[in-house]
């Protein structure tokens, strides 16, 4: 079955792609984290702002209503009582004027009687009001009086005063229809012992949004005050968090009482009345239609609004409700900008880092490309050329070192093999084998045992100490059977095994090797014994290498498994070198050599 070839890419492409993905991942995670943190901070701040707005509205309502209640309580004590003529009630002009001056939100103070009489003091603060009432020049106060005779006929007149409370003119009002007994404030106050507050409505005279506070006096009359709520709209306007923020104060019937754009509160035409909250904006209409959602979020025409809502106990019989709606996109504009800037910063950093990452990856893999060429040179048996380069990457540098060592080892191996294979005779071959093994193992001395033709005894056929050949006869080295009881332990272990034996010997237990240790001037040596066997796995000799114990760490390299394996490979090559040749008489009984 034919498998499709998998597409592969260079290492520097993989490294660059990995760095790119890491930068994207880190940038995305940081962007999302900063966005969530900024959103939480902004939403928390918006809640604090609404809490502050709620507190300000409560304080405004309290500061608006409570002083007026106190004023009504004091003025009720000065009320002359029911059926009092105008002359008696004119004595209230001075205290009424002082109360109106001290409380700018008051538009009028008045008294209603159970017989239908009415007495009002109203400041003329605007030119529009003066024009509406046809006030004379210099008039600052108006007294509107309605008195009823025994037959119930109403006699109404308007008196205008200046700042010094001096009468300027008096006007008669014919056909006066006004009867305080039919007004809600009179009926509610007359049925309650304490002060009452009417629901907000539009004042007829000034077309302002306000409410009436009233209480029944001990004399049986009802004293009341008209209070404008314009300050509440100013408070809402002051807390405009975003350009599109919707803030409204409304009564239980859905009539708007305060709104940042106060010009929309009063609907003109016919009888002026309060605007419906639903008519102010679509989002407020949906809020009143479905109420405040549990998640305090409202979606209108694809735009999400965050809602804050509270109930104000002041402002009328059922209190007032405060709603604040903030568009999420405007409220979280800074968070969106932070997220967008983070994405742009990540993209910019990515674009800037891409060429540097590509260059770094190319520089990183350049030594690996050299290693590929080096491996190709090994494949062609070119051991002399050195193509590898040093690298800042530890693993690549270690691989380069290992490759160079491998080339050196292979080159040395083939060099030794070629020299050994060039020797056709067995005895000289063993001498060459000892020389080459000493050279590649960096041993300080060595000797080779050979099976004697007269019997299965191991006799020394060659000795080299410190690169000098020595005659075995001059060293008094005995021939032994490996099974002799007095044979050294290392010799018995090496001859009975099939692998190399590595051990350490002290001078006291070196036996025959003491003379060699004296020549090496070393009281302790490391010994490597390698058995030589023919193809029938019969022992034909023993190769012994001696290393002086110097206490240096480099000794572990010369005695390591890789070095021992290399020496065994050299000896195997020596065995292959004499295949097809007859051995010398000393080795005639042992046949061809093999490890």
DSSP H helical ranges for 85-183: 86-89, 93-102, 127-133
By residue count, the chain amounts to: 595
Q: Residue 589 has what pLDDT? A: 33
State the pLDDT at residue 521: 87
Nearest to 521 by CA among 494, 493, 548, 543: 548
Nearest 5°: the CA angle 235, 236, 238 is 65
Nearby residues of 469 by Cβ (< 8 Å), 6 or more positions away: 462, 463
CB 529 within 8 A of CB 564: no
Identify which of 374, 376, 377, 375 has the alpha carbon closest to the alpha carbon of residue 388.
Answer: 374
Three-state DSSP class for 141?
Answer: strand
Task: Please give, one letter per residue, the 3-state secondary structure of 256-311.
Answer: EEECCCHHHCEECCCCCEECEHHHCCHHHHHHHHHCCCCCCEEEECCEEEEEEEEE
Within 10 angstroms of residue 422's Cβ, the number of other Cβ atoms is 10
Q: What confidence score (pLDDT) does residue 408 get?
A: 66
CA dist., res. 536 & res. 594, Å (int): 8
Q: Residues 159, 161, 163, CA angle at the centre, nearest 5°? A: 165
What pLDDT sits at residue 168?
Answer: 92
Q: Of 269, 65, 278, 46, give the one whose Cα is nearest residue 259.
A: 278
pLDDT of residue 342: 74
Using alpha carbons only, how large is the chain's radius of gyration in Å? 58
In DSSP terms, 458 is beta-bridged to 451, 480
- Per-residue pLDDT tens digits for 377-429: 766 666 666 656 666 666 667 777 777 777 666 666 666 666 656 655 666 76
* Other residues' Cβ atoms within 10 Å of the Cβ of residue 267: 15
pLDDT per position in the chain (595 positions), as tens?
A: 455 556 666 766 777 777 777 777 777 777 777 767 766 776 666 666 667 767 777 777 777 778 888 888 888 887 777 778 888 888 889 999 999 998 888 889 999 988 889 999 999 988 888 888 889 999 999 999 998 887 778 889 999 999 899 999 999 888 888 888 888 889 888 888 888 888 888 877 667 888 889 998 877 789 999 888 887 888 778 777 778 888 888 888 888 888 888 888 888 777 788 888 888 888 888 888 888 787 777 888 888 888 888 888 887 777 888 888 888 787 777 777 777 777 777 777 777 777 777 777 777 777 777 777 777 776 666 666 665 666 666 666 777 777 777 766 666 666 666 665 665 566 676 777 778 778 777 888 998 888 876 667 888 888 999 888 888 888 878 888 877 777 888 888 888 877 788 888 888 888 888 888 888 888 899 898 888 877 677 777 888 899 888 776 555 556 667 777 777 766 666 654 443 333 344 333 333 333 3
Q: Tell me how far apart the alpha carbons of residues 397 and 11 are, in angstroms, rounded to a whole number.
A: 16
Q: How far apart are CA 135 and CA 168, in angstroms?
A: 10
Model pTM score: 0.54
Euclidean distance between CA atoms 496 and 487, whole angstroms: 13
Per the rule left: phi > 0, alpha: psi between -120 and 50, beta: everything else, 367 is alpha
Asked if 572 and 472 count as a contact pair (C-beta separation under 8 A), the reply is no
Is 565 in contact with 435 (CB distance < 8 Å)? Answer: no
Phi, psi (deg, nearest 5) at residue 384 = -85, -30
8 Å CB contact between 146 and 122:
no
Write the CA distances from 352 to 249, 339, 574, integer angstroms.
54, 20, 62
Contact 82, 65 (CB under 8 A): no
**What domains sit in the chain, N to C, each tagged with a CATH number?**
78-224 (no CATH), 244-328 (3.30.450), 423-594 (3.30.450.40)
Q: Which of 97, 98, 171, 168 is nearest to 138 (CA)?
A: 168
Element (H, E) at 531: strand 524-534
Find out whether 452 and 585 touch, Cβ atoms under 8 Å: no
């Amino acid at each position: 079955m034919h498998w499709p070839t998998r597409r592969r890419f260079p290492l520097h492409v993989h490294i660059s792609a990995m760095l790119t993905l890491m930068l994207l991942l880190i940038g995305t995670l940081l962007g999302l984290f900063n966005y969530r943190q900024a959103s939480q901070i902004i939403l928390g701040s918006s809640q604090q702002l609404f809490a502050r707005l709620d507190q300000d509205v409560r304080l405004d309502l309290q500061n608006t209503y409570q002083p007026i209640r106190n004023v009504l309580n004091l003025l009720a004590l000065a009320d002359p009582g029911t059926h009092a003529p105008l002359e008696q009630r004119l004595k209230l002009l001075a205290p009424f004027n002082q109360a109106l001056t001290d409380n700018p939100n008051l538009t009028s103070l008045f008294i209603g009687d159970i017989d239908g009489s009415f007495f009002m003091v109203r400041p003329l603060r605007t030119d529009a009001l003066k024009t509406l009432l046809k006030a004379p020049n210099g008039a600052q106060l108006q007294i509107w009086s309605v008195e009823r005779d025994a037959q119930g006929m109403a006699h109404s007149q308007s008196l205008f005063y200046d700042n010094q409370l001096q009468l300027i003119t008096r006007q008669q009002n014919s056909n006066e229809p006004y009867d305080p007994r039919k007004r809600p404030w009179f009926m509610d106050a007359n049925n309650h012992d304490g002060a009452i507050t009417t629901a907000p409505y539009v004042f007829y005279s000034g077309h302002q949004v306000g409410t009436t506070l009233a209480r029944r006096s001990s004399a049986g009359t009802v004293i009341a005050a008209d209070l404008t709520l314009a300050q509440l709209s100013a408070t809402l306007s002051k807390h405009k968090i975003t350009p599109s923020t919707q803030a409204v104060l409304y009564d239980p019937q859905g009539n708007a009482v305060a709104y940042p754009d106060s010009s929309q509160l009063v609907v003109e035409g016919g009888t002026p009345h309060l605007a419906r909250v639903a008519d102010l904006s679509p989002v407020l209409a949906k809020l009143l239609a479905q109420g405040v959602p549990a998640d305090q979020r409202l979606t209108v025409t694809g735009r999400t609004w965050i809602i804050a809502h509270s109930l104000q106990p002041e402002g009328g019989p059922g209190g007032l409700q405060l709603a604040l709606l903030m568009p999420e996109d405007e409220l979280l504009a800074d968070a969106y900008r932070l997220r967008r800037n983070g994405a742009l910063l990540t993209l910019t950093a990515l674009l800037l880092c891409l060429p540097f990452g590509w260059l770094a990856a190319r520089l990183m893999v350049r030594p690996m490309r050299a290693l590929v060429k080096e491996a190709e040179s090994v494949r062609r048996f070119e051991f002399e050329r050195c193509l590898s380069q040093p690298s800042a990457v530890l693993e690549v540098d270690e691989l380069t070192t290992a490759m160079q060592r491998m080339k050196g080892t292979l080159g040395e191996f083939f060099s030794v093999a070629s020299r050994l294979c060039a020797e056709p005779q067995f005895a000289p071959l063993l001498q060459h084998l000892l020389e080459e093994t000493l050279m590649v193992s960096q041993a300080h001395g060595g000797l080779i045992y050979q099976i004697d033709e007269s019997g299965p005894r191991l006799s020394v056929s060659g000795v080299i100490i410190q690169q000098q050949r020595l005659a075995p006869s001059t060293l008094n080295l005995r021939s032994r059977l490996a099974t002799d009881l007095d044979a050294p332990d290392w010799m018995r272990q090496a001859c009975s095994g099939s692998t190399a034996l590595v051990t350490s010997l002290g001078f006291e237990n070196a036996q025959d090797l003491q003379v060699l240790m004296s020549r090496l001037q070393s009281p302790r040596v490391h010994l490597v014994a390698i058995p030589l066997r023919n193809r029938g796995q019969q022992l034909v000799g023993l190769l012994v290498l001696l290393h002086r114990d110097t206490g240096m760490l480099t000794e572990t390299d010369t005695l390591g498994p890789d070095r021992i394996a290399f020496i065994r490979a050299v000896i195997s090559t020596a065995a292959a070198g004499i295949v097809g040749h007859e051995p010398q008489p000393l080795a005639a009984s042992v046949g061809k050599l093999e490890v």
